[in-house]
Homo-oligomer: A and B are copies of this chain.
Amino acid sequence: MTQTHRLDDTTAPFMPGPRAAADDLMMSLGVRMTFAKDEEIYGQDEKADLIYRVISGAVRTTRVMSDGRRQIGGFYYPGEMFGVEASDHHRFSAEALSDGIILVVKASALRAVAGDEAFGRLTWTATNRELDRTQDHLLLLGRKTAAERVASFLMELADRRGAEAVTLPMGRQDMADYLGLTIETVSRMLTQLQSALVVEFLGSRIFKISNRCALARLAD
């Protein structure tokens, strides 16, 4: 979807475009916390009274079944909010994909300072974007083939990060758990996309889209 904020891996507080007041307040009220790779930011069923925003690094939300099967609900990149689930407890856990910095704000404090209305707009927007992405994800998992899933994933990532050469902040296992596949299938689809000259990999974690139309077509 369209980003209201430009993404920036540096900790620069600059954000082009108009910003809501609650947004600024969040930056000034919040506490910056560092997280190591794979460190848990919050756990499933934990009380959800904090709001988070990625400053640097990236985040995944996951849910795990009793036998260890894992589903990743989403990835979050610098400038994006997460953990704003409106019920009182989290339904996914959140972990850092890499070492990074997360802005943490107490929801009640933000509400008190920003006012009900601004706070409501902020959480409403976040929840809404969340629902939107989850619904796209639903179609991907329910009805797309492995090739389409991988193509969709690369496409969305490239759109969200908006760079020429995109770095994957996650390994194959995380991609697989997001796409409902295995790492082997993900790997095979990636080589397939390279053979078709649709994307080019310059290392296992960095790629460039060679043929955007073809990729869009494959993603459907």
Contacts and interface: CB of A to CB of B under 8 A. Distances in A.
A92 interface: yes
6 contacts: A70-B143, A71-B138, A71-B142, A127-B127, A131-B134, A141-B142
A120 interface: yes
Contacts of A73: 135, 138
* Across the A-B interface, the 9 shortest Cβ-Cβ residue pairs: A142-B180, A141-B141, A86-B128, A71-B142, A69-B143, A71-B139, A141-B142, A134-B134, A71-B143
Given A67-B220, A141-B141, 7 more contacts: A63-B135, A86-B127, A86-B131, A120-B120, A127-B128, A131-B134, A134-B138
B135 A92 contact: yes
A143 B180 contact: yes
A202 interface: no
A90 to B, nearest CB: 10
Interface in A157-199: 177, 179-180
Nearest to A72: B142
A190 to B, nearest CB: 19
A132 interface: yes
A130 interface: yes
Given A86-B128, A131-B86, A131-B127, A138 B138 contact: yes
A71 B144 CA distance: 10
Contacts of A91: 132, 135
A66 B131 contact: no
Contacts of A142: 71, 141, 177, 179-180
A12 interface: no
Contact of A131 (B120, B130, B139, B141): B130
Interface in A82-140: 85-87, 91-92, 120, 124, 127-128, 130-132, 134-135, 137-139
Contacts of A70: 143
